[in-house]
């Protein structure tokens, strides 16, 4: 897989958990060559330092930003204006801004920057080239610029409307944590049934890996469930118990609704 061809620099603003995952994914999938990377971060981050060792520039002088073809905003939503403001005088008008921030509307960023904007909500699995990312932009060029930066490390899902981004954030961006929490609950349930804590966690983690391998086949989720749940078997008994209680659906609905409400609150 060849690295990008050098049509300008890619600027990553913010190198927290998600920013670091994006950076690691770009390097692992050779989406962006290290020499084309500019990282803007207020504090030293291991991912940024690893990229610097490969040739990326970290916090260079503002003049270097004139090379940018894309700027990925990966800062906390409350801080985006403060982070973007000092960069704008140095950016070419053609630079595309790509937000991976929950709750911040594209129109706000476009108004503040007078530049084209795309919104992407990736999972941290992009670090291993195994993420998923929701994508929306009203601008065709901005959308395709964003797609090119994420397509090698994520399954990019186009949204029809920006209003769907909050739900996409909850279902994909936040959901890995929800799933890990469920796996943790399964491990605790295993302990209740007599497993040691180590055995219960290893088995639950292994089950998560197995489920992920099944999901990657692209088969419908119903088919994946049916493949494991034999009629009259132990899995079917567990599924019926969850369905009868309704707890799984209620927990999923509550988690997604709460995440959507929080994203809407952030957007103000």
User: Binding residue per annotation — 41?
Assistant: yes
Per DSSP, what are the bridge partners of residue 74? Answer: none
The residue to which tokens 């991976």 are assigned: 100
**14 vs 23: CA distance, rounded Å:** 10
User: Binding residue per annotation — 46?
Assistant: no
User: Binding residue per annotation — 126?
Assistant: no
What Cα–Cα distance (Å) separates residue 193 from each residue in 86, 140, 197, 233, 248? 57, 54, 11, 18, 20
For the beta sheet containing 9-13, the strands, ordered from the edge strand earlier in sequence to the opposite edge, are 57-58, 37-40, 9-13, 68-73, 96-99, 117-122, 131-136, 154-158
Binding residue positions for NADP(+): 41, 74-77
Annotated binding site: 41, 74-77
């Amino acid at each position: 897989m060849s690295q990008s061809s050098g049509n300008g620099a890619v600027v990553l603003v913010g190198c927290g958990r998600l920013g670091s995952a994006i950076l690691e994914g770009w390097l692992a999938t050779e989406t962006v060559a290290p020499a084309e990377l500019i990282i803007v971060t207020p504090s030293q981050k291991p991912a940024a330092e690893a990229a610097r060792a490969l040739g990326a520039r970290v916090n260079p002088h503002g003049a270097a930003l004139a090379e940018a073809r894309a700027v990925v905003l990966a800062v906390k939503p409350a801080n985006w204006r403060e982070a973007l403001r000092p960069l704008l005088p140095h950016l070419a008008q053609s630079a595309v801004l790509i937000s991976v921030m929950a709750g911040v509307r594209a129109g706000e960023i476009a108004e503040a920057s007078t530049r084209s904007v795309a919104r992407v909500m990736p999972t941290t699995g992009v670090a291993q080239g195994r993420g998923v990312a929701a994508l929306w932009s009203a601008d065709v060029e901005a959308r395709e610029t964003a797609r090119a930066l994420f397509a090698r490390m994520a399954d990019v899902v186009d949204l029809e409307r920006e209003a769907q981004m909050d739900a996409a954030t909850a279902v994909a961006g936040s959901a890995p944590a929800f799933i890990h929490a469920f796996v943790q609950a399964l491990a605790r349930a295993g302990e209740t049934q007599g497993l040691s804590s180590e055995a219960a966690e290893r088995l639950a983690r292994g089950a998560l890996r197995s489920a992920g391998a099944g999901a990657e086949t692209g088969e419908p989720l119903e088919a994946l469930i049916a493949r494991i749940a034999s009629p009259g078997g132990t899995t079917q008994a567990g599924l019926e118990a969850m369905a009868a209680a309704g707890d799984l659906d209620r927990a999923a609905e509550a988690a997604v609704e709460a995440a959507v409400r929080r994203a809407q609150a952030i957007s103000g």
